[in-house]
A and B are shown apart, each in its own frame.
Chain A
Amino acid sequence: MRRYILRRVAAFVATLFFVSALVFVVVRVLPGDPALVIIGAEGSPEAAARLREALGLNRPIPVQYVEWLTRALRGDLGVSLQYDVPVGRLIVSRLPVTLPLTVMAAVLMAVTALPLGLYAARRHRRAGDYLAMVVSQIGIAIPGFWAGLLLILLFSVHLGWVQSGGFAGWSGGLWPGVRSLLLPAIALGLFQTAVLVRATRSSVLDVLREDYVRTARAKGVNELSVIAKHTLRNALIPIVTVAGLQLGQLMAGAIILESVFALPGIGRLALGAITARDLPVVQGVTLFVASTIVLINFAVDLLYVVLDPRIRYE
């Protein structure tokens, strides 16, 4: 196990190194100049040239990368060109929005998709199954940003139950914060929930056809026990795999929904930074998201061992 963990840590470091180098080069090779974006069309190209010099963007890309990497290894991700604030501090300041948003969407996904998928599998080819499949099909077909706008229209504009966007913060207590993230979490989780319903249904259906389930039923084990102990646990491995991948996609989906709901999260930070060519921020956010996804995958692998004691990592 120790060797396995060491191997994974080495892979983690290699992934981050690769991602950072790739993003560094791609962002700098793409047309678009941070100095020009800061100066804008109202300024002069001469002013932009002076700013470019001051920002150190005239030096060769490898030199810039080595400098950036040396500082990053010491935990310094640089300073945002747009905000003049350390990148690390910017990312940390956005976590109280994106983290709860993603977690809420994931919880929503789990508590809705698992029972619904299970229900559909148990009612295979009956009305309940078809209904669940139609609902999940709609969930897959509606893009998150559109669902977000529809939710705003209904719950904010017409009913006035929640605010239309923005983040209330956590200083006023738990509820105002949760309330402002409720609609975005639903919109964000909708697609992934629908996908997970289908994954759960098919995985449970596979297991229900297994001999050991038939044997358990033949032995007279009660149905609840058949489902909870014999079926669900065995069906969980593919479900967890899908769910793990979906967590990463939730973070990606947050980029669009944070804009629709005007939430000051990591996604909107990334989008704004790309538009403004705020290179240190793009770099920092990418590294952060990449690390999170690698860590989630690692956690999923470890979870396999818990779910299925036959799995060993040596």
Chain B
Amino acid sequence: MRHLAKLLLVLLALIPLAAPTAAPAQNLILQGATEPPGLDLTATPASATATVVFYNVQEALVKVDRHGKLVPWLAERWNTSDNKNYTFFLKRGVRFHNGREMKAADVKFVFDRAMNPETKHPAVKQYEVIGDIIVKDDYTITFALKSTNANFLWTMARQGSVIYPREAVETLKSEPIGTGPYKLGEWVRGDRIVLVKNGEYHVKGLPKIDRVTLRFIPDPNAALAALKAGDVDASMFGLGPEHIPDLQKDSRFQVIVGETTNDVIMSMNNAKKPFSDVRVRRAITHGINKPDVVKGAMFGLGRVLGTNVDPLNPYFVDMSGAMPYDPAKAKKLLAEAGYPNGFETVLKVAPQYYYTVRTGEVLADQLQKIGVKIKIEQIEWGQWLSRVWKDADYDLTIIGHAEAWDIANYANPKYYFRYDSAEFQKLFQESEVTVDDKARRELYLKMQKKLVEDAPVVWLYIHPRLAVTKKGLQGLWKDLPAGAGVMDLSEVSWAKQ
């Protein structure tokens, strides 16, 4: 009996050795500043929605990768013989989160719906170029364009072009379904969104994280405290540049400072005096010392800009030295324009975006030296959208334009810049239908030169990507070429300890 007991004890002791050891679940808790206004990428262009859904829950036929290159994604390849008819060959065996395989009919449904004005897709204009969509078989689909469009493939890669199953169209806003590496776990409104691993993801071996919790902590100091207390593993958006030097010295963390598409600009109302005079706009540009703005407002983090195209764009040209800081020249230009003693003007900023206020304060100080007295008026974001962005009821304003490929704004005289140049508009139209890369590059250079010359706005700096993570987290993008809010978590993992 005693022997039997001993034997049992030995067997019991062996059980843990014999049982297969399951890999510990890999979890990730992230801090984000802004809760999305709904999760439907076909209803809102908000970057907070893209942060959660784009690349993580839903994907498009084509993807902008971490280097800013267009790569085939849900389509394994495409071809076009005339730059008007694009045929996409879908990747086989890609399943939506509801288990059903993605077919060409789903793709057709998605784009038919986006093109229908009834859908109220925020980027409906981008799809107007599509004439017909022909499903050839379950995995082959052709888009016949009305005219050549150099941006078509980029349009297919945008967040509004994600593919979802047609049976889930009603729940896109609260429970989006897609083909992404993560499924939506739960959304506790006002608190967090949980993403769980999609075990049937179409890219083998990904994702490596089992559960991602995105906590919404709007206050930057609270976000910093959560990071330091170890309550979150990474702060993705929301820490300011003032937090970075301290965190760079802390051995527990790694700091990611990268490029984005978010160009921070000071717009001048081109339709309103005195900014309707190009000499005044040039004077303002010459009166601003951009490196000092970056030092004063951003702790030196952020690349000085000279024109609209951001450094992650393939057609970027560094024009930061084209209109250098030259207060004497600025004063001379102001005198020529009839303002020898300068003038008073109002700068409207929305404190929801911290950098707008700080940048405004530095600019007000600098421009005072050329006689331009700036009164800063802080308005709430909802008011900014109505008064400044929609009605152009402003003199000066500062905001970051986070969207990639946004040079089109300068070709739209109704946009809040109210910049109306027939020459620029012609160049832009030409660039839209020029598919040859070399010729298009040439046109982009001409457009940028024209913008520098006309100075419709002052391009100040690129708002840097500032993310801080615990040591050991790997696979995050350094730069954000697909849009400043995009957070691709598909390749993220914890380094083995």
Contact = CB atoms under 8 A, between A and B. Distances in A.
Interface of A: 30-33, 36-48, 50-51, 54, 82-85, 90, 93-94, 149, 152-153, 156-157, 160, 163-167, 259-265, 268-269, 272, 275-277
A48 B173 CA distance: 17
A164 B231 contact: yes
Given A32-B382, A39-B44, A167 B191 contact: yes
A47 B380 CA distance: 22
Contact of B38 (A30, A54, A83): A83
26 contacts: A30-B382, A33-B385, A37-B381, A37-B385, A38-B37, A38-B43, A40-B45, A40-B385, A41-B399, A47-B122, A82-B38, A83-B189, A84-B173, A93-B189, A94-B190, A149-B225, A152-B222, A165-B231, A166-B192, A166-B215, A167-B191, A259-B219, A260-B219, A262-B222, A264-B189, A275-B382
Contacts of B402: 42
A85 B174 CA distance: 9
Contacts of B373: none
A93 B186 CA distance: 14
B228 interface: yes
Given A36-B390, A262-B217, 16 more contacts: A31-B383, A31-B386, A33-B385, A40-B385, A42-B403, A43-B122, A47-B121, A47-B122, A47-B123, A84-B38, A84-B174, A163-B231, A165-B217, A260-B219, A260-B221, A262-B218
Interface in B213-235: 215-219, 221-222, 225-226, 228-231
Interface in B120-136: 120-125
A36 B222 contact: no
B387 interface: yes
A142 B390 CA distance: 40
Contacts of B121: 47
Contact of A157 (B38, B123, B228): B228
Q: Across chains A and B, which 9 residue pairs bring their CB atoms closest together, nearest first?
A: A32-B382, A264-B191, A264-B190, A42-B45, A43-B122, A156-B229, A164-B229, A36-B385, A262-B217
Nearest to A39: B122
Nearest to B36: A82
B198 interface: no
Interface in B3-40: 35, 37-38
A85 B189 contact: yes
A260 B224 CA distance: 11
Contacts of A44: 122-123, 125
Contact of B229 (A85, A160, A275): A160
Contacts of A265: 190
B46 interface: yes
Nearest to B383: A31
Contacts of A277: 382
Contacts, number: 150
B390 A32 contact: no
A84 B43 CA distance: 12
B225 A54 contact: no
Nearest to B216: A262
Interface in B179-230: 188-192, 215-219, 221-222, 225-226, 228-230
Given A42-B403, A262-B215, A47 B189 contact: no
A32 B386 contact: yes
A130 to B, nearest CB: 34
A153 B225 contact: yes
A272 B190 contact: yes
A50 B118 CA distance: 9
A149 B221 contact: yes
A206 B389 CA distance: 60
Task: Please indicate which of the listed interface residues B173, B189, B217 has the most CB atoms of chain A within 10 Å of its own CB.
Answer: B189
A165 B216 CA distance: 10
Contacts of B383: 30-32
A32 B385 contact: yes
Contact of A262 (B47, B226, B403): B226
Nearest to B416: A41
Nearest to A32: B382
Contacts of A152: 222, 225, 229
B475 interface: no
Nearest to B45: A42
Nearest to A94: B190
Nearest to A34: B382
B7 to A, nearest CB: 41
A43 B123 contact: yes
A38 B399 CA distance: 17
A36 B215 contact: no
B338 interface: no
A272 to B, nearest CB: 7
A147 to B, nearest CB: 13
Given A32-B386, A41-B389, A166 B191 contact: yes
B298 to A, nearest CB: 20
Contacts of A260: 219, 221-222
Nearest to A83: B189
A165 B123 CA distance: 37
Contacts of B381: 37, 275
A275 B379 CA distance: 11
A31 B120 contact: no
Contacts of B472: none
B248 interface: no
B352 interface: yes
B303 to A, nearest CB: 21
B314 to A, nearest CB: 21
A50 B401 CA distance: 23
Contacts of A36: 382, 385-386, 389-390
A37 B122 contact: no
Contact of B225 (A48, A50, A156, A259): A156
Contacts of B46: 38, 40, 42
A90 B225 contact: no
Interface string B375-407: 000001111011101100000000101110000
Nearest to A263: B191
A168 to B, nearest CB: 11
A163 B217 CA distance: 13
B188 A264 contact: yes
